[in-house]
Amino acid sequence: MIPLSHILLLSVILFTLGAAGFIIRRNVITVFMCIELMLNAVNLAFIAFSRRLPSLDGQLFVFFVIVVAAAEAAVGLAIIVALYRNRNSLAIDDVDSMKM
Amino acid sequence: MEILFYIFGIVAVVAAISVVFQRTPVYSALSLIVVLAALAVIYLLLGAPFIAMVQVIVYAGAIMVLFVLVIMLLNAGHEGPSAHRARFARWLGPPLLLAFIVEFAVIVWKQYGLTGAASAQPLDASPAAIGRLLFQSYILPFEVTSILILVAVLGAVVLAKKQV
């Protein structure tokens, strides 16, 4: 049997890598992919707890997270396309209008 | 069965490191697809076949195709060096992230033990069982989700128009 703690450790390692990438990357698309990585880490924890309880609700939450991620990807990538059209750049450093 | 979990867990972590540290977005996207596929295998091992298939079809299939399409469309190339970067962040960041992982591991270890098995009894996770739960207990979230998707489609069309 796979121990629950090992699954959760894998989940938190993936989440930490996603959070690190979110901070250190400077390409908008890569930052967006790091968000997807964090969402997947959370999904893994949901599945692990769904198996532990045992209850199907965790798997349905994962289902909803995937649906929301799909909607988020559609809107987010449209925003990135609009951003590129206006600034002609994908670097996060160039999008600093709201910086003091 | 357990050995497969560890193999694909290591594959997922290595591919996730590749997502973060590749400097070309296309390579990051391909590495992310590897992460998603490895996670789908782990979902299968954990007794969630429906979610594993949704992961492959929707995530690795639809969402990542969208990502790769936009990367190609915008011709996103090599990421240049940053103009301004805090020096102390480079020394403080990795230890803090490592501390986060260790802290979490200690909490999990205290709560669940190092080798507590992940399952009590087998769970019926067939698509039929998930469908029954989805259309009985979770019918309201399901309907709200459909409205969310409609709004997202409209938003994407409006945002991607010529003049914004």
Give the separation between CA B16 and CA B7, rounded to whole angstroms: 14
Give the model's pLDDT for residue B119.
Answer: 64
Which residues, 6 or more positions from B20, have their beta carbon under 8 angstroms from its beta carbon? Answer: A17, A18, A20, A21, A24, A25, A34, A37, B28
Give the separation between CA A66 and CA A50, rounded to whole angstroms: 16
Pairs of CB atoms within 8 A across A/B: 239
pTM for this model (two decimals): 0.90
**Contacts with A85 from chain B: Cβ below 8 Å:** 164
CATH class of the region B1-94: mainly alpha
pLDDT, tens digit, for every residue of B3-50?
A: 999 999 999 999 999 999 988 899 999 999 999 999 999 999 988 899
Domain range annotation of chain B: 1-94, 124-164
> Which residue's entry shows tokens 């003091």?
A100
pLDDT band at B108 (very low <50, low <70, confident <90, very high): confident
Mean pLDDT of B54-66: 91
pLDDT band at B120 (very low <50, low <70, confident <90, very high): low
In a domain, A100, yes or no: no
In a domain, A13, yes or no: yes
Largest CA distance in chain A: 54
- C-alpha closest to that of B120 among B108, B112, B132, B128: B112
In a domain, A70, yes or no: yes
DSSP annotation of A3: B
Q: Which domain holds residue A13?
A: 4-92
Mean model confidence pLDDT for chain B: 87
Give the model's pLDDT for residue B163.
Answer: 65
pLDDT band at A93 (very low <50, low <70, confident <90, very high): confident
Higher-confidence residue of B19 and A91: namely B19
Mean pLDDT of A34-43: 94
ipTM of the complex: 0.91
Cross-chain residue pair A25–B153, CB shorter than 8 Å: no
Locate the chain A residue with the closest alpha carbon to B81. Answer: A26
In a domain, A97, yes or no: no
**Contacts with A83 from chain B: Cβ below 8 Å:** none
- State yes or no: pLDDT of A34 exceeds 60: yes
**Contacts with B59 from chain A: Cβ below 8 Å:** 36, 40, 66, 69
> Which residue's entry shows tokens 């987010």?
A76
Q: How many domains does chain A have?
A: 1
In a domain, A17, yes or no: yes
In this structure, what CATH number is given to the domain that contains residue A46?
1.10.287.3510
